[in-house]
Amino acid sequence: MSLDLRRCQKSSKSLRLTAEDKRKLAGLDALCFPYDEPYAVIGKWWWIIEDMDWNPVAYAGLSPCPETPGYMFLCRSGTLPSHRRQGLAQRLTEARLEFARSLKKDVITYVQRDNIASANNLIKAGLRIVKPVYRYGGDDGIYFGSSW
């Protein structure tokens, strides 16, 4: 089955999201992070993977990073349980890295210590453990970054 990846914002100059994409992101977020508060999607870049009927199955975001000039922040990534271990998060990570690189930015992010799936995903994409200048996720996370 073909699963297509697209960046929600067509232009690299505007962070504006359509109402339909906001709805899809909120729906995915609720299913992938059932115990979290709804995530604030405004002011970030977003990518969505959809099936042939345009049903969203995975998503990920990239946020500007004013605290760490020269970097962007890999934020929130989720794949519906039914679609996990098919390489979707990997595709989303690669798309975000490619976009950040095109803007001549490095990326930084963190994972909770027990989130093995997420840490392995970042390692597979070539990121390395770093000591952050700014601790976005507090002291408990493991920080990963790129250095192109």
Interface residues with ligand COA (CB under 6 A) are 32-33, 58, 76-79, 84-90, 115-118, 120-121, 124
| CA quadruple 74, 42, 50, 125: dihedral, nearest 10 | -10
Residue 13 CB, shortest distance to ligand COA, in Å, is 26
Q: How far is Cα 5 from Cα 3, in angstroms, rounded to an integer?
A: 7
Q: Between 10 and 124, whose beta carbon lies closer to ligand COA?
A: 124
Q: Between 8 and 111, whose beta carbon lies closer to ligand COA?
A: 111
Q: For the chain, how big is the Rg over CA atoms in Å?
A: 15
Q: Between 130 and 136, whose beta carbon lies closer to ligand COA?
A: 136
Nearest to 92 by CA among 133, 138, 57: 57
Residue 14 CB, shortest distance to ligand COA, in Å, is 24
**Token pair for 10:** 């067509």
Residue 74 CB, shortest distance to ligand COA, in Å, is 8
